[in-house]
Chain A
């Protein structure tokens, strides 16, 4: 029963894609949209039903599994289309389908006038299906399949308005950058198969921890470290971490619901999911964990700095997403797996809320995205305004909004850790929190208060968004307010999410050693510190941008502002040091291909041509000749039978 429901969870979105694809001519747009929404809502409800059944904490990781069909079989390899719903994937599935449903509903309004309405929902449902495959897949290949599937959908949706060359380019960029990460993932997968002889995730992790217990894989084992690092390369690509984060801001070229769903709430957290899924590997590889923590902290910091001066409302949120993802990796790196997952959930709430709110603003202003040309929208967009306001509080991490609890959990684990690394990344995170609060309220002030700086076209069509768009905003806002209750600080002894996930990370924590419980007053003190930092940042921005952008309006020509305005010149550096050499290599390879390889091929072709010229004499077109030869063959056969 539960198995069948589990299968339904993943099959429904794909079935919906098939229905919409094959019936796209006859299906009315409205009905297609409703089908798409239903195809996300039903899996959500099913997940709730099935997920309730796995809550029991047994020594084994509680899970529901189902095998749809056998897939790859050959040699020692046996991979099935198997699904596995355990606490971790259940959490993710709920986020994906829950937030996904809200965003689908929102899209009904947002994409209402778009000629590609039906296409949009096909892609969206395909994305949901792929994401579920990624999360629910019980084997690495299926995970990889979903991984690539969401990548494809991301590409399709970034370039949704592909008539515009820039959008199409952004899609390509996302795709190519992701490939680099995927290569890492693929290599990791091969190494895992070589090491463990299976690709079943549960088997791999359990055999690793069992092997460690038997002394087979000591702490810091080279092979395990390498696998963990390669996995992290893949996660970097998908989750936009430091060297590979350049695609995410460009991905904002897609429709805003896409940004909310894929590039903030769900797909980009796939990297987190993967690292969390293989937490045992990272626990056994301190070096890899350190790399994760450092990269996460640096990404959080650098992205936040860039977000400080962005003018595009969506770009600010995009860099903020990178930054928050950095937090999550920081958490994973310092061993705060539960806290990282918690942050994924709350971040999904408030970042989806912020993106959708931004979308509502953009929608209202007839696709104006430049925050410098907004201002004073508060009275015009009341519902959008207060939900966005809530989102800002949550993102900035102000008590008692959701972001506060999750962020604080990560920072607490980092700052209170031992050794030189943990406090270092913790401090970086604290500075980032300051900047986060600053740019969040800068954005709020620029958009909703101060003098109106709209151009005439935007002002003419100014209107509050329809209910299909504001209703999801309200729901997400409520979630952003109360979401923190899922996992209160340790001293409150109320940790719903943490308890739920405990069996998943039990083995990893057993390897790394359970974190010591800190004294209540230390934790409270830390909280107060971070709250003070955050409120300080918010206050600073609140005052500074009370009257619009002020001195930020003219483009800076030098100094740090110049660097930040141009995003640390990362794209340009890539152009010179990565793309340039590649172009040269490609040119060389092209030359080789055209003259050497083609020369050989053409030579062979000419040889065949020559042979053909001789054989052609035999084909004179007269049936009788052929018949004669044919009969000669027949006679030969008959005679040879004699």
Chain B
């Protein structure tokens, strides 16, 4: 079984990293979005290998099922073209260099970490997470719902197409 676990981890990790790279490299935004869906699904798979089944389902449901559809929808709505290729300027070269430094520093930071024994008292099932939310973290839970409500109102206000007369009022 342990071999299976290893295989699952490596497959998921490779898919995640590869499609993440595709997100950045693809010049077609839709292809980027689809690659990102791949990354999310792979991360969901990683959650499964961590026994966080509920979170894994939520990851697929929210990220792949909702957030990325929204992205896709917006890309289609704006009807974006492929990004033209242009020569990298100073900022991009610096950005690339910085990212590489970040990568290596993060990895060395990660390797410095000592693996603690995996002694979680509770698993990641829906019932157990529910217990946590409805006892210790009731307030954050409610705040999260409030945040979503506020975000919903905000989105409607911001994205709404204004009528011409309102536009004039806004400018006046």
Q: Does B170 reach chain A (CB closer than 8 Å)? A: no
Q: Does A519 reach chain B (CB closer than 8 Å)? A: no
Shortest CB-to-CB span from A619 to chain B, Å, is 15
Q: Does B17 reach chain A (CB closer than 8 Å)? A: no
By the criterion CB–CB under 8 Å, are A631 and B98 in contact?
yes
By the criterion CB–CB under 8 Å, are A631 and B99 in contact?
yes
A439 to B106, CA, bound (A): 96
Q: Does B126 reach chain A (CB closer than 8 Å)? A: no
Residues from chain B with a CB closer than 8 A to the CB of A622 are 91
By the criterion CB–CB under 8 Å, are A634 and B102 in contact?
yes
Residues from chain B with a CB closer than 8 A to the CB of A26 are none
Chain B residue with the shortest CB-CB distance to A640: B105
Residues from chain B with a CB closer than 8 A to the CB of A627 are 95
Selected from A624, A625, A628, A638, the residue in CB contact (under 8 A) with B106 is: A638
Residues from chain A with a CB closer than 8 A to the CB of B101 are 635, 639
* Chief secondary structure at chain B's binding surface: helix
Q: Does A617 reach chain B (CB closer than 8 Å)? A: no
Residues from chain B with a CB closer than 8 A to the CB of A625 are 91
By the criterion CB–CB under 8 Å, are B109 and A641 in contact?
yes
A587 to B143, CA, bound (A): 56
Residues from chain A with a CB closer than 8 A to the CB of B109 are 638, 641-642
Instruction: Report the number of A-B residue pairs with Cβ-Cβ less than 8 Å.
Output: 30
A638 to B102, CA, bound (A): 8
A625 to B99, CA, bound (A): 14
Residues from chain A with a CB closer than 8 A to the CB of B102 are 631, 634-635, 638
Known A-B contacts A625-B91, A628-B91, A642-B105; A635 and B98 likewise in contact (beta carbons under 8 Å) = yes
Q: Does B135 reach chain A (CB closer than 8 Å)? A: no
A624 to B106, CA, bound (A): 21
Q: Does A176 reach chain B (CB closer than 8 Å)? A: no
Known A-B contacts A628-B98, A634-B102; A642 and B91 likewise in contact (beta carbons under 8 Å) = no
Shortest CB-to-CB span from B48 to chain A, Å, is 29
Residues from chain A with a CB closer than 8 A to the CB of B105 are 635, 638-639, 642
Selected from A632, A641, A642, the residue in CB contact (under 8 A) with B98 is: A632
Flag A45-60 by CB within 8 Å of B: 1 or 0 each. 0000000000000000
Residues from chain A with a CB closer than 8 A to the CB of B114 are none
Q: Does B144 reach chain A (CB closer than 8 Å)? A: no
Shortest CB-to-CB span from B16 to chain A, Å, is 21
Interface core residue of B94, B98, B109, B112 (most chain A CB under 10 Å): B98
- Which residues between 93 and 123 of chain B lie within 8 Å of chain A, taking CB atoms? 94-95, 98-99, 101-102, 105-106, 108-109, 112
A520 to B112, CA, bound (A): 105
Taking residues whose C-beta sits less than 8 angstroms from the other chain, chain B's interface range is 10 to 19
By the criterion CB–CB under 8 Å, are B112 and A631 in contact?
no
Residues from chain A with a CB closer than 8 A to the CB of B91 are 622, 624-625, 628
Shortest CB-to-CB span from B101 to chain A, Å, is 6
By the criterion CB–CB under 8 Å, are A642 and B94 in contact?
no
A329 to B11, CA, bound (A): 97
A256 to B29, CA, bound (A): 78
Residues from chain B with a CB closer than 8 A to the CB of A635 are 98, 101-102, 105
By the criterion CB–CB under 8 Å, are A628 and B112 in contact?
no
Residues from chain A with a CB closer than 8 A to the CB of B98 are 628, 631-632, 635
Known A-B contacts A631-B102, A635-B102; A642 and B108 likewise in contact (beta carbons under 8 Å) = yes
Shortest CB-to-CB span from B9 to chain A, Å, is 24
Chain B residue with the shortest CB-CB distance to A641: B109
Interface core residue of B94, B101, B105, B108 (most chain A CB under 10 Å): B105
A286 to B105, CA, bound (A): 84
Residues from chain A with a CB closer than 8 A to the CB of B106 are 638
Shortest CB-to-CB span from A633 to chain B, Å, is 10
By the criterion CB–CB under 8 Å, are A628 and B108 in contact?
no
Residues from chain B with a CB closer than 8 A to the CB of A639 are 101, 105
Selected from A628, A634, A638, the residue in CB contact (under 8 A) with B94 is: A628
A625 to B112, CA, bound (A): 31
Shortest CB-to-CB span from A114 to chain B, Å, is 39
A635 to B106, CA, bound (A): 9
By the criterion CB–CB under 8 Å, are B99 and A642 in contact?
no
Flag A142-176 by CB within 8 Å of B: 1 or 0 each. 00000000000000000000000000000000000
Residues from chain A with a CB closer than 8 A to the CB of B108 are 642
Residues from chain B with a CB closer than 8 A to the CB of A634 are 102
A617 to B54, CA, bound (A): 49
Residues from chain B with a CB closer than 8 A to the CB of A624 are 91, 95
A627 to B108, CA, bound (A): 23
Shortest CB-to-CB span from A628 to chain B, Å, is 6
A180 to B106, CA, bound (A): 69
Chain B residue with the shortest CB-CB distance to A632: B98
Shortest CB-to-CB span from A638 to chain B, Å, is 5
Shortest CB-to-CB span from A404 to chain B, Å, is 70
Shortest CB-to-CB span from B95 to chain A, Å, is 6
Residues from chain B with a CB closer than 8 A to the CB of A641 are 109
Residues from chain A with a CB closer than 8 A to the CB of B99 are 631
Pairs A-B, 5 closest by C-beta atoms: A638-B105, A635-B102, A639-B105, A631-B98, A624-B91
What are 9 contact pairs spanning A and B, CB under 8 A?
A: A622-B91, A624-B91, A628-B95, A634-B102, A638-B106, A638-B109, A639-B101, A642-B108, A642-B109
Contacts from B to A (Cβ < 8 Å): 91, 94-95, 98-99, 101-102, 105-106, 108-109, 112
Given A625-B91, A628-B98, A638-B105, 19 more pairs with CB closer than 8 A = A622-B91, A624-B95, A627-B95, A628-B91, A628-B94, A628-B95, A631-B95, A631-B98, A631-B99, A632-B98, A634-B102, A635-B98, A635-B101, A635-B102, A638-B106, A638-B109, A639-B105, A642-B105, A642-B108
